[in-house]
């Protein structure tokens, strides 16, 4: 049992003696840690500390900020094994993937900003004006449980680099990596108050954070429902917001594509982190005359996803992160059956031999209607919907036929044709023929998937106000 009954406020650990929240191991359901169920007072103390620290940190030199990020990068690398195992146990991502993604990406993203910062134009000339980019102020960061450290790093690194101060509320479902991060930052040259961590529930500490007048920006990753609440609250005080929310991304297979490669790539993407990924390709759009073959290929692909203990190297499909999420996915699978979709693989139960923990069978539905709930709503589990289409225009209509627009994919033997179709998808990023993920490219969504962008210079600009001096 890991007792984390403390918050990190104003450069020091502050013990907590009130109610606590249990953190469960995804693979067994056992309680592995306890964290504070903090109140409004603790969050207000953290915001006050960040507000006091802002004036001096906003005027720090670029060299000071780079030095802190270099120290952070070294700490992330040094503790990568601990980070990977911690998140593997909390979230359920298999250890091999957790090492590369959950522990690897935070270090990679920190390094990317170290490369970007020396050449970023914090001031530039435009005619007779000097354009200055100034830090926005105190930033409230609210982060999810599916990629718990990666999503934190995407916020706090560019925020600190911009000269902002930060108050972080991590997910109470997977909070332990945020504590590791706080320990690392505590050992850097970061002045007290620049980074603060308060753990608790959204309706108390989260509500305080998004409504506090001294918080000038809220950066949030999570559900569209919560994002809407934050947007409404921020509007009352004209706060800046950056929202990265849900998705129902379509993988469009054109008639001339390599169907086997397209199905395999889509299944692998859909089942990454057991489907607990906002960019997951959960809708596979195929020509009607290739539908049955696509279903057979998908069933064969998911059969290779070996479920089991995520701490074992041979496991390819881990559990979901919580009992609540598992039960929600079961309900959606039952709904898909009720809606008349063809159950090609899986079902609303745990895989054989996985009775403990929060496991769900990798599930594939065929003959899914584009307007059905399993094709419209984010399930956030290992569930793929295969949807037949009649022609290219029909495929684009179906792909764009949800309220979301976070990611997508297009597959074709003709790269230019694939790019043409990709340019018609109302979504923030599109993978063309399995193109590699680029951490330097902007990341964010259209519509109900979000406002703003993360990664690269776009991620840094979110935390900067623009001022012009007329000379």
Active-site annotation, residues: 244, 278
Distances (CA, A) of 377 to 253, 299, 330: 21, 22, 14
399, two tokens = 């792909």
Cβ(463)–Cβ(135) below 8 Å: yes
CA nearest to 367, candidates 261, 450, 284, 274? 284
Nearest Cα neighbor of 198 from 220, 219, 182, 221 is 182
Give the CA distances from residue 140 to residues 195, 273, 344, 386, in Å, rounded to whole numbers and listed in that order: 10, 27, 44, 39
- CA dist 434 and 93 (Å) reads 22
335 and 365 in contact (C-beta within 8 Å)? Answer: no
Name the residue among 101, 60, 111 with its Cα closest to residue 310: 101
For residue 202, CA distances in Å to 98, 151, 170, 261 come to 26, 17, 10, 42
Cα distance between residue 464 and residue 79, in whole Å: 31
Closest CA to 122 of 105, 135, 111: 135
Q: Which residues of 425-442 are buried (b: 16+ CB within 10 A; e: fewer)?
A: bbbbbbbebeeeeeeeeb
Burial (CB count <10 Å: 0-12, 13-18, 19+), residue 3:
exposed
């Amino acid at each position: 049992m890991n007792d984390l009954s403390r918050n990190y406020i104003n450069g020091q650990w502050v013990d907590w003696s009130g109610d606590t929240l249990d953190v469960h191991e995804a693979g067994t359901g056992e309680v592995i840690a306890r964290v504070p169920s903090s109140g409004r007072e603790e969050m207000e103390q953290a915001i006050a500390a960040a507000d006091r620290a802002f004036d001096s940190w906003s005027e720090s030199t670029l060299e000071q900020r780079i030095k802190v990020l270099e120290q952070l990068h070294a700490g992330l690398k040094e503790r990568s094994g601990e980070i990977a195992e911690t998140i593997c146990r909390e979230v359920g991502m298999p250890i091999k993937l957790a090492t590369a993604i959950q522990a690897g990406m935070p270090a990679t993203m920190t390094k990317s900003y170290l490369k970007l910062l020396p050449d970023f134009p914090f001031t530039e000339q435009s005619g007779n004006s000097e354009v200055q980019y100034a830090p926005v102020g105190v930033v409230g960061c609210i982060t999810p449980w599916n990629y718990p450290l990666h999503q934190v790093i995407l916020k706090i690194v560019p925020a600190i680099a911009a000269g902002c101060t930060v108050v972080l509320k991590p997910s109470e479902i997977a909070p332990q990596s945020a504590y590791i991060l706080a320990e690392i930052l505590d050992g850097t040259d970061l002045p007290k108050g620049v980074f603060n961590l308060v753990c608790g529930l959204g309706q108390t500490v989260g509500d305080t954070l998004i409504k506090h007048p001294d918080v000038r920006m809220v950066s949030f990753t999570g559900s569209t429902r919560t994002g809407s609440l934050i947007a409404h609250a921020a509007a009352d005080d004209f706060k800046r917001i950056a929202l990265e929310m849900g998705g129902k991304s379509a993988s469009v297979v054109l008639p001339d594509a390599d169907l086997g490669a397209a199905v395999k790539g889509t299944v692998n993407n859909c089942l990454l982190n057991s489907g607990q990924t906002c960019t997951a390709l959960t809708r596979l759009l195929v020509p009607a005359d290739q539908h049955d073959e696509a279903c057979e290929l998908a069933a064969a692909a998911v059969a290779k996803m070996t479920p089991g203990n995520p701490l074992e190297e041979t496991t390819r499909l881990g559990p979901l992160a919580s009992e609540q999420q598992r039960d929600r996915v079961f309900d959606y699978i039952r709904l898909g059956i009720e809606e008349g979709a063809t159950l090609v693989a899986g079902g609303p139960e745990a895989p054989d031999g996985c009775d403990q923990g929060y496991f769900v069978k990798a599930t594939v539905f065929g003959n899914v209607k584009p307007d059905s709930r399993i094709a419209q709503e984010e399930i956030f589990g290992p569930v793929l919907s295969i949807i037949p289409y009649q022609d290219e225009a029909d495929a684009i209509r179906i792909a764009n036929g949800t309220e979301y627009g976070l990611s997508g994919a297009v597959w074709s033997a003709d790269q230019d044709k694939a790019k043409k179709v990709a340019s018609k998808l109302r979504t923030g990023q599109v993978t063309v023929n399995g193109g590699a993920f680029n951490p330097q490219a902007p990341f964010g969504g259209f519509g109900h998937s979000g406002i703003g962008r993360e990664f690269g210079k776009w991620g840094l600009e979110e935390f900067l106000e623009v001022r012009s001096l007329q000379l």
